[in-house]
Amino acid sequence: MIIGITGIFGSGKTAVANLFTKHGYKVINADEIGHNLLNKKPIKNKLVKEFGKSILTNKKINRRKLKDIVFNNHKKLIKLNKIIHKPIIKEIKSIIKRNKNIVIDAALLIEAKALNLVDKLIVVKINKKEQLKRTLKKKKYNKKEVNNILKSQLSQKEKLKYADIVVDNSKDINNTKKQVKEIIPRLK
């Protein structure tokens, strides 16, 4: 069984995905794959060609610099996605071939038109107040950056239209664990 987990930025997709490991699922994190691919020669060369040498620090892609460019310019974000989505999907397919019972943690699973990879789609939802509180608490992003990232994704309302199952992550982790535990028998 291959489960896709998606949701808006800061919804807690990764936390929910990681809960599945306790039930025998292997988690594939699309963001981690993307980060690992950034400095592979063909991708790195395409990125430098598209965004300039200013995205390099010590001959490596500086994710912060790249993020500052793409989340402030929608056309640049589209170009980044065209460069990186296919290699991410290719890597996910390779991992799927070698494993059973997989959870794919991917914010842009719908946007990347990769729903064909999964048997069931779980959308993690969260109320706006809690999402902003959790995201800002990490101190990796300011409010403007969070809003720019959210603008670049399908809205929560749109993502929910694709859901086979919904996990509401607006409360504490114990509530989320309970929901996941209830979902597991439905996936067999």
Least confident of 121-125, 127-131, 139-143, 179-183: 139-143
pLDDT band at 145 (very low <50, low <70, confident <90, very high): confident
- The yes-or-no verdict on residue 91 having pLDDT over 80 is yes
- The yes-or-no verdict on residue 73 having pLDDT over 90 is no
Q: What is the pLDDT of residue 153?
A: 87
Share of the chain above pLDDT 70, in %: 100
More confident residue, 84 or 152: 84
- The yes-or-no verdict on residue 139 having pLDDT over 80 is no
Helix (H) or strand (E) holding 177: helix 173-183
Q: What is the mean pLDDT of the chain?
A: 93
pLDDT band at 111 (very low <50, low <70, confident <90, very high): very high
Architecture of domain 2-187: 3-Layer(aba) Sandwich (3.40)
User: What's the whole-number mean pLDDT along residues 52-65?
Assistant: 93
Q: What is the pLDDT of residue 87?
A: 96
pLDDT in tens, 20-33: 999 999 999 999 99
Write the CA distances from 30 to 6, 75, 77, 116, 133, integer angstroms: 10, 22, 17, 15, 24
pTM of the predicted structure, to 2 decimals: 0.90
User: What's the whole-number mean pLDDT along residues 46-58?
Assistant: 94
pLDDT band at 71 (very low <50, low <70, confident <90, very high): confident
Q: Would you list the domain boundaries of the chain?
A: 2-187
- In the chain, the amino acid numbered 49 is K
Phi then psi dihedrals of residue 150, to 5 deg: -60, -35
Distance, CA of 188 to CA of 176 (rounded, Å): 20
User: What's the whole-number mean pLDDT along residues 121-130?
Assistant: 95
Distance, CA of 131 to CA of 141 (rounded, Å): 12
